[in-house]
A and B are shown apart, each in its own frame.
Chain A
Amino acid sequence: MTMAYNPIQIYKLMAKARALEERLIKMSKSDDGFFWIGGPGEEAFNVPLGLLIKKGEGLAFDFLHFHYRNSATLIAMGVPMIDPIRQMHCRATDPYSKGRNFVGHFAIKEWNVMGVTSPIEVQYSMAPGTAWAQKRYGGDGITVVTGGDAGSAEGDFATCLSWSNIKNRELPILIIVTNNRYGISTPFESVHGDSIIARRAEAFGIQWDVVDGNDPKASYEKLQFAMGIVREERRPFCLEAQISRLHGHSSSSGANREQSERDCLIEFEKVLVNANQMSKQEAEEIRKTYEGEALDALKQARTEPLPESSTIYEGVFK
């Protein structure tokens, strides 16, 4: 996609995604939902990713195999705030799973968003399948797969690298690792011998790079570069984004704000204010607007029905 970098648009989407995640966390700590898991702190990378997706249904468009930390990508793609809130609230109106799955487990057929799953690695094994179908189809649709640093320890990550660059079968696939340096409570370096995950791609002959995922401009440009290669040259690229984890892993670790981590939203706001692209007051208004939108969405979701018990067998088979 040849869209120009638009910092104000990106800031707004980052603020919107953050407001959503913070509302979801509050819901998990109240009677408005159960388990929370998400990706606050990854907005500077995930929003540009969403903006650069070729959105649509079928082989001509991008196929997306996300993990449960991609809410900012979906917000950037245009998901209305209320839908993840409905999923958090287990409402029958949850369009992704009708109250069956955790929040962040998006599934949107008309945008090729394949069902997000709780296992942290399986998407890496499935993604080459859509990419192979796209290779055969032609066009410029690509497959994008995301996962975390901890999930890269699973064999599926090696499967993805191995199947993506077979001679004469090179796949149009962007293999992303968002590295927040933790698997739940376990520091990456305490259980891994390597330091740069994306470098593993080199052994498979796959081009790779690392980007500061707290910097939206660097992320945008690097994603645009990597996607350009995958789209035009129909071959794989592995990109590691080093990002922050602002509220821990999930509800299981309390989901409290982690003060020692860099906050891309605060950093980006300073950049824009210092460059006179936005005033502090404008930034505050943007954040308040989305906080209000999230609260209104919650109030609406509360009024909507839970799924009927009688629906449990629906959709086991098509």
Chain B
Amino acid sequence: MANIAQAIRLALHLGETKLGVKDIFGEDVGPPLGGVFTCTQGLANAWNSPLDERGIVGMAIGLAMAGQRPVAEIQFCDYIFNTIDLLKLAGNTCWSTAGQINLPLVLMTPVGAGIHGSIYHSHSFESIATHIPGWKIILVSNPRDAYGLLVSAIKDPNPVLFMYPKALIRVQTEDQIPGLTKDPRELSKMIDAPPLDNRSSWKPSWPDLPDFEIPIGKAKVCTEGKDVTVISYGRPLPWCIEVAKELSKENYSIEVIDLRTLYPLDDETIRTSVNKTGRVIVVNEDTEVTNFGEHIIRKILEMCFYSLQAPPKLLAGANTPGIGLAVPLEEAQVPQKIDILNATLSMLKEKA
């Protein structure tokens, strides 16, 4: 049983042994640390870069131009902002060169709130990321999707942004990588590095890894329901499932969709669900103005207008310049489980 950090590590190991990944790099990505969230521990092809985000993205683009399959990391998405014009460039290279030069690169970055990260370790990035054409955009919520979608991202011949919620990195969930040991302690003994001062001679013992992938662009229906559709991804997603389970005890039937890929968006899964329920809430952590959820709702209005029984709702982060460190501030700034519950209840009660 793997957590998200381990799932990422396992997918990268598959990448470096079977899929031609020769460079896994970024700040503190290589030994001895193996990533500030441990996602790159024990990998043979992981290396430390200068603390230079533009250099990291530029290196990834150059390696991809040279036919390599780099995986680069920006340590926190809060530090990706000075690379945006290089992200634009990565996204436009294939189009601008009339399809001649494609860039098979993966850029990983942890996102979101929930670890008391204050102003520069709590950002979300999906609303800006999805505004950069030429990228495929992934934001996972569980270890199975982290593994399967990272494998797909590595195989993809285009730039793929792979985001993962830092608050869920250590969470064990039922969504597991097929064929992996069920015992989390056994897996930890195999692939988690010992403390830093005892690490110099450590080598991981990699399990057999399945060539298992989840296709980019396919959402997942987590719980089926007919009363309300809750569309989410990343950190709030497990809360949405918990709310659906709790409300099912009161005979409400909530359909929760985990988008997993934000671009290309799985229109069909959204359309099918909202046409069935007629009521929809979109939940994410990003600031509410020009939020990716607004795009989803626009699509819903175009695709499902005559099926709607209530105005669609966006539950998103407060439009503030940062997330406050104190708990009452952070909890008021990004949606919590109670907010999802309340929004779902009021959506259920909204008159048709």
CB distance from A101 to the nearest CB of B (A): 6
CB distance from A173 to the nearest CB of B (A): 10
Q: Does B98 contact A (CB under 8 A)?
A: yes
Q: Does A130 contact B (CB under 8 A)?
A: yes
CB distance from A64 to the nearest CB of B (A): 10
Binary interface encoding of chain B residues 81-118 relative to chain A, with 1 for a CB under 8 A from any of its CBs, else 0: 00001100100011111111110000000000000000
Q: What residues of chain A lie closer than 8 Å to B134, measured between beta carbons?
A: 316-317
In the complex, are the beta carbons of A126 and B58 less than 8 A apart?
yes
> Known: A107-B96, A136-B22, A163-B55. Contact between A126 and B102, CB under 8 A?
no
CA distance A136 to B45 in the complex (A): 13
Q: How many residues of A contact B (CB 8 A)?
A: 44
Q: Does A63 contact B (CB under 8 A)?
A: yes
CB distance from B42 to the nearest CB of A (A): 21
Q: B6-14, B62-70, B120-128, B248-256: which lies at the A interface?
A: B62-70
Q: How many residues of B contact A (CB 8 A)?
A: 37
In the complex, are the beta carbons of A100 and B89 less than 8 A apart?
no
Q: Does A256 contact B (CB under 8 A)?
A: no
Q: What residues of chain A lie closer than 8 Å to B324, measured between beta carbons?
A: none
CB distance from B9 to the nearest CB of A (A): 23
In the complex, are the beta carbons of A132 and B96 less than 8 A apart?
no
Binary interface encoding of chain B residues 47-70 relative to chain A, with 1 for a CB under 8 A from any of its CBs, else 0: 000101011011111111111101
8 Å CB contact of A127 from B57, B62, B99, B158: B62
In the complex, are the beta carbons of B22 and A316 less than 8 A apart?
no
Q: Does A205 contact B (CB under 8 A)?
A: no
In the complex, are the beta carbons of A114 and B65 less than 8 A apart?
yes
Q: Does B157 contact A (CB under 8 A)?
A: yes
Q: What residues of chain A lie closer than 8 Å to B22, measured between beta carbons?
A: 136
CA distance A98 to B96 in the complex (A): 8
Q: A17-25, A154-162, A227-235, A241-249: which lies at the B interface?
A: A154-162
Closest residue of chain B to A311, judged by CB? B98
Q: A117-125, A175-183, A210-218: which lies at the B interface?
A: A117-125
CA distance A97 to B98 in the complex (A): 5
Contact residues, B176-231 vs A (CB, 8 A): none
In the complex, are the beta carbons of B101 and A114 less than 8 A apart?
yes
CB distance from A164 to the nearest CB of B (A): 10
Q: Does A134 contact B (CB under 8 A)?
A: yes
> Known: A162-B55, A163-B50. Contact between A59 and B93, CB under 8 A?
no
Closest residue of chain B to A159, judged by CB? B55
Q: Does A105 contact B (CB under 8 A)?
A: yes
Q: What residues of chain B lie closer than 8 Å to A105, measured between beta carbons?
A: 96
CB distance from B126 to the nearest CB of A (A): 19
Give B contacts to A, CB under 8 Å. Answer: 22-23, 50, 52, 54-55, 57-68, 70, 85-86, 89, 93-102, 133-134, 136, 157-158
Beyond A59-B67, A126-B86, A163-B59, list 11 extra A-B contacts (CB 8 Å).
Answer: A96-B97, A100-B98, A107-B97, A109-B100, A125-B59, A125-B62, A128-B58, A136-B22, A162-B55, A314-B99, A315-B94
Q: Which 10 residue pairs are nearest across A and B when measured between Cβ atoms?
A: A129-B62, A125-B58, A315-B99, A133-B66, A318-B102, A107-B97, A98-B98, A109-B100, A126-B62, A129-B63
